[in-house]
């Protein structure tokens, strides 16, 4: 599990660590890790040209000590001090002693620029002087120390000038900004340097491959299809026939024992949709019956409210997707049952009456507020999908190529999450495992190129088999 802690949690853990470690030891651990990561990035240290941009706090201290380590190994290290009167004394002395230079303006070229302007002590966007300097150096490769300066650490918010890093070297633990967009986009690749901190449970996590393998439902030796769980899909309509097929294809990935497909309207009206579903998935059973979870909404159109009411009449977990999201409140909400809502930013904006840009600007907060308001798990789908539990916990999915942003991918995901619910996972696990499997299946189907929603669905069984082979 990748765990992200808040600034307050990190501060508390650091205090405890300071009490039992020699003065400056933690900063030296951070600086050593940072210097190693910089050396790896540069490929060679001797003769490398390094620019440090240093602010007033300990983030600058880490940066100066790392710069000193590189200078001792033969790098040419220049340093711009943004608050010359308040620079970390020990760090600056170490850099000077190692041959590093303080410069008023940066030279013409560097192999890397190191952002030591501000770390977890920061608030708000970069101030004008720092913003002007960073803006003038945007062509350089940037390494952010702990966090990219100007980006909100706890919320991942970006609302003004900030450092856009190629690599972020963080210390002790991840922070939410490293996982949650839009802040995560400013981090680039994230590298964690362990400081041996004693940390509490993390409010924000990202499942890793072995976590997903441990959570995947597996059939008991004597399982039959009903003990493995039946997932019911109420999706598709005359206008959106394909949505029914794609929802079923996600549900029929093999993680549940059986799929029931229930189209809207009479069997006669639904005949074209049924024909498509049966052609693609002859194993799906058409018609109502007992299920352990419902998936409702994709391509439902005008039938969404009727379909959602019918699903909610059964006292089983439910995935509310696409068109059903906009009729959730008129249908009385999910009423205490395990449930997953699967909006993208536009859908969540409509559900909550907030402009889409505001949802996109605060993905962590938006998903959390929606989970609290609707009283169930909310999966805000995006590049880094945020799965929020009503109690405030969050799991972020960081796998999944941008090629996954393709029509119908969401239908497959809804079906997949429904299968996991039917197999017995909690709503929180089903949503976070489903989102991870979905992203990883897209990468498996076509590692570096375009992928269709149907191909994502087809790759799910092989992806799961690989996870189970590797084991937790």
Ligand X SMILES: Nc1ncnc2c1ncn2[C@@H]1O[C@H](COP(=O)(O)OP(=O)(O)O)[C@@H](O)[C@H]1O
Binding residues for ligand X, per CB under 6 A? Answer: 344, 381-383, 385, 400-402, 404-405, 407-411, 413, 438
Is 145 a binding residue for K ion by CB under 5 A? The answer is yes
Is 149 a binding residue for K ion by CB under 5 A? The answer is yes
* Nearest distance in Å: CB 329, ligand NPW: 39
* Nearest distance in Å: CB 404, ligand X: 4
The set of residues, in sequence order, having a beta carbon less than 8 Å from that of 164 and lying 6+ positions away, is: 138, 142, 148, 185, 186, 188
User: DSSP secondary structure string, 344-386?
Assistant: BHHHHHHHHT--HHHHHHTHHHHHHHHHHHHTSEEEEBSTT-E
Strands 142-145 and 76-81 turn out to be unpaired
* Nearest distance in Å: CB 170, ligand NPW: 8
Nearer to ligand X, 305 or 405 (CB): 405
Nearer to ligand X, 113 or 370 (CB): 370
Residue 121 interacts, among ligand NPW, ligand X, K ion, none and using kind-specific CB cut-offs from 5 to 8 Å, with ligand NPW
Residue 236 interacts, among ligand X, ligand NPW, K ion, none and using kind-specific CB cut-offs from 5 to 8 Å, with none
Structure tokens at 69: 């380590």
Q: Are 340 and 322 in contact (CB under 8 A)?
A: no
* Nearest distance in Å: CB 458, ligand X: 16
Residue 413 interacts, among ligand X, ligand NPW, K ion, none and using kind-specific CB cut-offs from 5 to 8 Å, with ligand X
Long-range contact set of residues 6-10: C-beta below 8 Å, sequence gap at least 24: 6/153, 6/154, 6/175, 6/176, 6/203, 7/120, 7/153, 7/154, 7/175, 9/199, 9/200, 9/202, 10/120, 10/172, 10/173, 10/175, 10/197, 10/199
Phi/psi region, residue 43 (left: phi>0; alpha: psi -120 to 50; beta: rest), is: left
Edge to edge, what strands does the sheet with 204-206 contain? 2-4, 204-206, 394-396, 386-388, 377-380, 339-341, 318-320, 293-296, 230-234, 258-261, 285-286
What does DSSP assign to residue 5? -
Is 111 a binding residue for K ion by CB under 5 A? The answer is no
Interface stretch with K ion, choices 4-12, 149-157, 216-224, 258-266 (CB under 5 A): 149-157
* Nearest distance in Å: CB 392, ligand NPW: 24
238 annotated among ligand-binding-site residues: no
115 annotated among ligand-binding-site residues: yes
Nearer to ligand NPW, 161 or 424 (CB): 161
Residue 127 interacts, among K ion, ligand NPW, ligand X, none and using kind-specific CB cut-offs from 5 to 8 Å, with ligand NPW
Binding residues for ligand NPW (CB under 6 A):
14, 26-27, 30, 55-60, 62, 117-127, 130, 145-146, 150, 171
Q: What is the rounded (10 degree) CA torsion for 359, 362, 368, 373?
A: -40
Structure tokens at 77: 């290290």
* Nearest distance in Å: CB 153, ligand NPW: 8
* Nearest distance in Å: CB 137, ligand NPW: 15
Is 347 a binding residue for K ion by CB under 5 A? The answer is no
* Residues annotated within a binding site for K(+): 59, 115, 149
Q: Which residues are annotated as a binding site?
A: 58-62, 115, 119-125, 146, 149, 243, 299, 344, 381-385, 410-411
């Amino acid at each position: 599990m990748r765990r992200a802690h808040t600034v307050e949690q990190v501060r508390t853990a650091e205090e405890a660590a300071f009490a039992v470690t020699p003065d400056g030891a933690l900063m030296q651990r951070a600086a050593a890790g940072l210097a190693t990561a910089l050396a790896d990035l540069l490929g060679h240290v001797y003769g490398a040209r390094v620019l440090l941009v240093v602010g007033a706090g300990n983030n600058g201290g880490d940066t100066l000590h790392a710069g000193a380590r590189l200078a001792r190994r033969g790098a040419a290290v220049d340093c711009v001090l943004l608050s010359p009167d308040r620079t970390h004394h020990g760090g600056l002395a170490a850099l000077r002693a190692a041959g590093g230079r303080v410069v008023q303006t940066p030279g013409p070229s560097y192999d890397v620029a190191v952002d030591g302007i501000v770390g977890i002590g920061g608030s708000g966007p970069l101030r004008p002087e720092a913003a002007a300097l960073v803006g003038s150096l945007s062509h350089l490769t940037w390494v952010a120390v702990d966090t990219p300066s100007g980006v909100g650490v706890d919320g991942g918010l970006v609302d003004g000038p900030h450092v856009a890093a190629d690599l972020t070297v963080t210390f002790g633990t991840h922070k939410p900004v490293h996982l949650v967009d839009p802040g995560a986009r400013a981090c680039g690749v994230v590298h964690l340097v362990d400081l041996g901190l004693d940390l509490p449970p993390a409010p924000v996590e990202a499942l890793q491959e072995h976590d997903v393998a441990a959570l995947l439902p597996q059939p008991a030796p004597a399982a039959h299809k009903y003990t493995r769980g039946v997932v019911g899909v109420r999706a598709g309509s005359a206008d959106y026939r394909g949505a029914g097929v794609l929802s079923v294809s996600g549900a029929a990935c093999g993680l549940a024992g059986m799929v029931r497909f229930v189209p809207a309207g009479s069997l006669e009206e639904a005949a074209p949709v049924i024909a498509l579903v049966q052609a693609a998935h002859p194993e799906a059973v058409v018609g109502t019956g007992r299920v352990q979870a419902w998936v409702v909404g994709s391509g439902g159109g005008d039938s969404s409210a009727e379909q959602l009411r019918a699903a909610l009449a059964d006292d089983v977990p439910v995935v509310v997707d696409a068109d059903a999201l906009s009729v959730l409140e008129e249908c009385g909400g999910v009423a205490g049952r395990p449930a997953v809502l699967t909006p993208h930013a536009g859908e969540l904006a409509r559900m909550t009456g907030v402009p889409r840009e505001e949802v996109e600007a605060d993905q962590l907060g938006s998903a959390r507020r929606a989970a609290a308001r609707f009283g169930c798990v909310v999966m805000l789908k995006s590049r880094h999908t945020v799965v929020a539990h009503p109690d405030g916990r969050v799991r972020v999915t960081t796998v999944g190529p941008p090629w996954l942003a393709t029509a119908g991918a969401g239908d497959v995901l809804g079906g997949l999450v429904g299968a996991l619910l039917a197999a017995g996972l909690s709503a929180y696990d089903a949503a976070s495992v489903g989102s991870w499997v979905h992203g990883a299946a897209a990468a498996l189907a076509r590692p570096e190129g375009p992928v269709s929603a149907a191909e994502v669905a087809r790759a799910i069984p092989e992806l799961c088999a690989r996870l189970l082979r590797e084991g937790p």
